[in-house]
Amino acid sequence: MKPTYFIALFSAVLLLSCQSKEQKVTHKTYNNPLLDQWNTPFGVPPFDKIKNEDYKPAFDIALKEHKDDIEAIINNSDAPTFKNTIEAFEVSGKLLTKVSNVFYNIESANTNDVLKKLSGTLAPILSAHYDDINLNKNLFKRVKSVYENTDKSKLTAPQQKLLEDIYKKFVRSGVALEGKEEARLREINNKLAALTDQFGKNVLEETNSFELHVTDKKDLGNLPSSLVALAADEAKKRGHENGWSFTLQRPSINPFLQSSPNRKLRQKMFLGYAMRGDNDNKNDNKAIIQEIVQLRTEKANLLGYESHADLILDNAMAKKPEAVLKFMDQLWNPVLNMAKEERKAMAEFMKKDGVQGVFNGSDWRHYVEKVRKERYNFDEEEMRPYFEFNAVKKGVFTLANKLFGLTFKERNDIPKWHEDQQVFEVLEANGKHLGIIYMDFFARESKEGGAWMNELRSQSNVNGNFVTPIVTNNFNFPRPTENEPSLLSFSEAETLFHEFGHALHGLFSNVTYQSQSGTNVPRDFVEFPSQVMENWMSEPEVLKLYAKHYKTGEVIPNALIKKMNDANSFNQGFANVEYMAAAYLDMYWHTLKDIEKRDVHKFEAKKMKELGLIKEILPRYRSTYFNHIFSNPVGYSSGYYSYKWSEVLDADAFQAFKDAGSIFDQETAKKYRNMLSQGGSKDGMELYKEFRGAEPSIDPLLEKLGIK
C-alpha cells in the first residue's frame, strides 16, 4: 500500500442515504457531479461524469462545509458531550472526504497535467485547513471537557478509544500549550519544516552530483545490455563523447556493483554512495541532523513526552520505544550471524577468483551474484509463464473463497476511470453484498509507478446507517500484446496478493466510526494484513490452484519453486542486517531524552560498534542520507522498524494456520477475519492477542529465514 497520509487524513465516509430516520434531509443540489448525490450502483463515484474542472469548485464548497461543521460544534450552546462533540467531530467534513477520496485516487491512478497542477495548489490549502482545525483552541476546550468529565464506563470500547485518540491527537499537535511554550512550539515547527526540507534537498544534490564515468568496456562486466545503453545515454547527457556513466540512483549503482569486476571502481562508487551528506561541503547534513534531533527532543518534552520516539509511538501498536528495541534485539544476533556466514562464503569465493586482499563492503554485491549463480543457477524469467495475470487474479479470488467463502462478480454496469479496469462486487458465502473492488492492472503513462490500495469509501455504521466499503487495487503490470498475454514476474504476482490483502482489510471492516475502519490502523500494523497474503501465494498447495503454464496448463514444478527459494534465501543475513542497522539508528537518534549536541560521526560509529555491526555492512541508510527519518516532518522517524515488525506479525499469523493443521483452516480464518474487521477500533496488540492467544513470536520469521 502507498504510505498515503491521505488515507489517514481524508478517509472516506459518504452520505449514501439520509443520516437517520429522525434527521431526514433532502440532498442539496450543487450542479457538480462530485458533490451531488451519486445515483449509481452501490453509490460508487460517477467517474464517467466527473471532469477536470469539477474538482476545484467541489473542494471550495467541501472545505467551506467542513469549516461550518466545526463552527457548529464550537458554537453549540449545550454542554460538551460525547455525541455533540466527539461524534460530531468524527462525522464532520463528509463532503471533503468524499471529494478528496475521488481526487487523490484519480490523481495517482489516471492523472493529467490539470490534476497534477491542482494537486500542487491544494496541498498548502488542505494543510492550512487541517492545521486550523487541529490547533483550534475552542474546539480543543470542548474535546478536553468531554475527555475529563465523561463517565467512560457509559461509552462502548470503540467510543472510549475514539475519545482517547482524538484527545491525544490534539495534545500532540500542541494546542494545549499557552504563552511562551506555545510560541516556542510554533518556532520549533517552523525550523523543523525548513531543516527537513533542506536535508532532503542536500541528499538529492549529493546524489545527482556524483558520477562515475567508465571508459573501458571490460569494467562493465556482464551488465545487461539495456543498462549498458542507459549508462551510455547518461554519459552523453553529462557531456562525454563516449563511455558509460553511473550514478548513485539505485537502478544504476546496484547493477554496477554487481557486475563490474573492477574493485577500485566499485570502491569509488560504494564510497560515493555512503558519504552523501557527509562531505563537509555546502550539502553537508551533519549540522542539520544535530539541530533536527535537538528540536524534536525539545518538542517532545514540551508536549509531555520523554523523547521524540515516545511521542511518535504513542499511537503505534508497539506503543513504547522499549518494545521496539526488545523485538529488534531478539532478531539481531541470529541475522548478524547469518550475515557473517555469508561474508565467509563470499571471501572464500573471492580468493578462489584469484583476487588478493581483504574482502570489502564494496565487494559484497558482486560476490552475492557470483555465489548465487554458482550455487543455484536460477533464472527468474523461468517463472513468468506460470504467472499469467488472469491466472494470478484467479489465484487471489480462489484463496479468498477457500479462506472466507467470498465470491467476486464482475460488474459491467459500474462507471470506471479507465477502460482497462475491472470492477467486482464482493459477495459473502450467503450471497450478501460485502463491498466493491476496482482493479486497475496495467502500466500506463497516466498512472504513478508501483502498486497500492486506496479506499474510495470506508465502511462505517453511525446511527444504524451501514455504509459498505469501496476499495481499489492499482498495479503497473505489463500490458498484454497481440502475441503474448501479460506474464508476471514472481514478485509482481506477490504484489497482487499483497495489495489484495490490503483490500480485504478494507472490505472486512465492520465498525461504527470511519476513522477506525479498515486500513485506518497504526503504521506498524497496516502492512501486516497485506504481507500475510504473500505466505499463501507461494505455498505449493495454493500454487497448484493457479500457477499454471499459460501454454501447456502444467502446474509450476515444485523443483523450480525450491530453486527460487534457495537462491533468494542466500544473502538474507545481509538484507536483514542492513535494514535493521538503519532501524536501530533511527531509534538511537530519537530516543535521546536531552538536547545535548552529539557529534554525528562519533554517535553513529559508537552505536554501530556497540551493536556489533560488521564493517562490511553499512546501515541501509547512514544518518546523513536517511531521508525516511530526516527529510520530511512526519515521514518514518521512529517508525523505520515497522516493515520488519509487520514481517514478524505476518509470519506468526500464518503459523497459526499451520498449527491448526491446514493453511485453509476455517476456525483460524474466522478469527483472522474477526481481527481485521475491527480495524483501528481496538488496540493493535489486543486485537492480535485475541486472534493468536499470545503476543507475536519471532520464531516463525526465524524459521522462514532458515535460522531455526
Which residues lie near Zn ion (CB under 5 A)? 1, 527, 530
CB-nearer residue toward Zn ion: 35 or 437: 437
422-427: strand order across its sheet: 407-410, 422-427, 433-442, 470-477, 452-457
Least Å from the CB of residue 501 to Zn ion = 8
CB-nearer residue toward Zn ion: 253 or 317: 317
Least Å from the CB of residue 344 to Zn ion = 35
Helix axes 55-74, 94-109, angle to 10 degrees: 150
Give me 357's grid cell: 586482499
Instruction: Name the 3-class secondary structure at 214.
Output: strand
Burial string for 682-691 (b: 16+ CB within 10 Å, else e) reads bbbbebbeeb
Least Å from the CB of residue 642 to Zn ion = 11
CB-nearer residue toward Zn ion: 279 or 489: 489
- Check the CA dihedral 186-190-191-195 and report its sign: positive
Burial string for 523-532 (b: 16+ CB within 10 Å, else e) reads bbbbbbbbbb
CA–CA separation, 269 and 668 (whole Å): 50
CB-nearer residue toward Zn ion: 2 or 340: 2
CA–CA separation, 552 and 554 (whole Å): 5
CA angle 266, 272, 278 (to 5 degrees): 150
Using alpha carbons, list the distances in angstroms from residue 285 to 201, 587, 629: 10, 19, 13
Least Å from the CB of residue 335 to Zn ion = 22
Least Å from the CB of residue 530 to Zn ion = 4
Looking up cell 505466505 gives: 535
H or E element in which residue 437 lies? strand 433-442
Least Å from the CB of residue 1 to Zn ion = 4
Least Å from the CB of residue 680 to Zn ion = 16
CB-nearer residue toward Zn ion: 32 or 530: 530
CB-nearer residue toward Zn ion: 527 or 616: 527
CA–CA separation, 514 and 51 (whole Å): 27
Contact call for residues 140 and 176 (beta carbons, < 8 A): yes
- For residue 435, the cross-strand partners are 426
CA–CA separation, 127 and 135 (whole Å): 12
CB-nearer residue toward Zn ion: 447 or 498: 498
Selection from 468, 469, 491, 487 nearest residue 479 by Cα: 487
> How many Cβ atoms sit within 10 Å of the Cβ of residue 44?
19
Tell me whether residue 445 is one of the annotated catalytic residues.
no
CA–CA separation, 100 and 187 (whole Å): 30
Contact call for residues 701 and 331 (beta carbons, < 8 A): yes
Give me 310's grid cell: 515516545
CB-nearer residue toward Zn ion: 54 or 527: 527
Which entry of 87, 342, 494, 499 is annotated as an active-site residue?
499
Give me 162's grid cell: 475514539
H or E element in which residue 347 lies? helix 321-352
CA–CA separation, 287 and 635 (whole Å): 20
CB-nearer residue toward Zn ion: 408 or 500: 500
> Which residue lies nearest Zn ion, judged by its C-beta?
1
Selection from 416, 473, 439, 458 nearest residue 46 by Cα: 416
Least Å from the CB of residue 502 to Zn ion = 6
Least Å from the CB of residue 498 to Zn ion = 6
Catalytic residues: 499
